[in-house]
C-alpha cells in the first residue's frame, strides 16, 4: 500500500514538473524539442488547445486520485488543516482552477510568451473533465456500497424460509 502511494505521489510530482517545463519554456513550439517525435510535435503545435486540455486533465486526474488527508490531518497549523478534502474534492478542484490561471499569468514575465485566455479555458476544461469523471466514478461506487449495505440489512421474511 505504501509503495502505491509513493508511486502515485511521484507521478503527481512528475506531471507537475512537466507542466512547469512546458509552461515556462522560451518557445511555445513543441516540435523543436529534440526528444519529441516530429509528428507529435507538429500535431501539438497545430492543436494547442488539446495540449492544454490533455495536460491539465492528466494532472487533475492524478490530483483527484491522491489522498493527502493524512498529511493535512497531522498538521499543527489550522490553515493547513483547512485544505482537507471535502466529499466531492471541490476544494482541490478550486485550487487546480486557480493554478491553471496562475501558471498562464506567469508566462507574462517571459519575453516570447504571452497570456492567452483560450489556454486558460482549455486548462479549466481539462480539470473539469477529470473532476467530472472522478465524481461519476465515485458516485457509482458510493451507490453500489449503499445498495450492498441495504441488502445486507434487509429484514428476513420468515414465511418464505423453508425449514426441514
**SS3 labels along 62-126:** HHHHCCCHHHHHHCCCHHHHCCCCCCCCHHHHHHHHHHHHHHHHHHHHCCCCCCCHHHHHHHHHH
The answer to whether residues 91 and 83 touch, using CB atoms and an 8 Å cutoff, is yes
pTM over 0.75: no
Confidence grade of residue 23 (pLDDT, cut at 50, 70, 90): confident
Nearest to 86 by CA among 102, 62, 64: 64
CA–CA gap between residue 120 and residue 72 (Å, rounded): 29
Residue that wins the pLDDT comparison between 136 and 2? 136
Q: What is the pLDDT of residue 80?
A: 66
Residue that wins the pLDDT comparison between 93 and 121? 121
Listed in sequence order, the residues at least 6 apart from 92 whose beta carbon sits closer than 8 Å to its beta carbon are 63, 64, 85
The answer to whether residues 9 and 65 touch, using CB atoms and an 8 Å cutoff, is no
Kindly state the cell numbers that stand for 48. Answer: 494547442
Backbone torsions φ then ψ of 154, nearest 5 degrees: -75, 135
Calculate ∠ Cα 26-115-97, nearest 5°.
Answer: 110
Please, what is the average pLDDT of the chain?
A: 79
Amino acid at each position: 500500500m505504501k509503495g502505491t502511494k509513493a508511486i502515485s505521489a511521484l507521478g503527481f510530482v512528475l506531471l507537475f514538473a512537466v507542466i512547469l517545463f512546458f509552461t515556462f519554456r522560451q518557445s511555445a513550439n513543441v516540435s523543436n524539442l529534440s526528444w519529441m517525435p516530429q509528428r507529435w510535435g507538429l500535431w501539438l503545435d497545430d492543436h494547442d488547445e488539446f495540449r492544454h486540455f490533455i495536460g491539465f486533465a492528466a494532472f487533475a486526474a492524478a490530483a483527484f486520485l491522491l489522498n493527502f488527508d493524512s498529511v493535512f490531518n497531522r498538521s499543527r497549523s489550522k490553515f493547513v488543516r483547512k485544505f482537507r478534502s471535502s466529499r466531492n474534492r471541490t476544494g482541490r478542484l478550486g485550487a487546480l482552477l486557480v493554478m491553471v490561471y496562475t501558471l498562464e499569468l506567469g508566462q507574462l514575465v517571459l519575453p516570447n510568451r504571452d497570456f492567452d485566455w483560450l489556454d486558460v479555458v482549455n486548462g479549466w476544461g481539462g480539470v473539469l473533465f477529470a473532476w467530472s469523471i472522478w465524481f461519476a466514478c465515485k458516485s457509482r461506487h458510493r451507490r453500489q456500497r449503499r445498495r450492498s449495505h441495504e441488502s445486507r440489512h434487509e429484514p428476513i421474511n420468515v414465511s418464505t424460509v423453508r425449514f426441514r
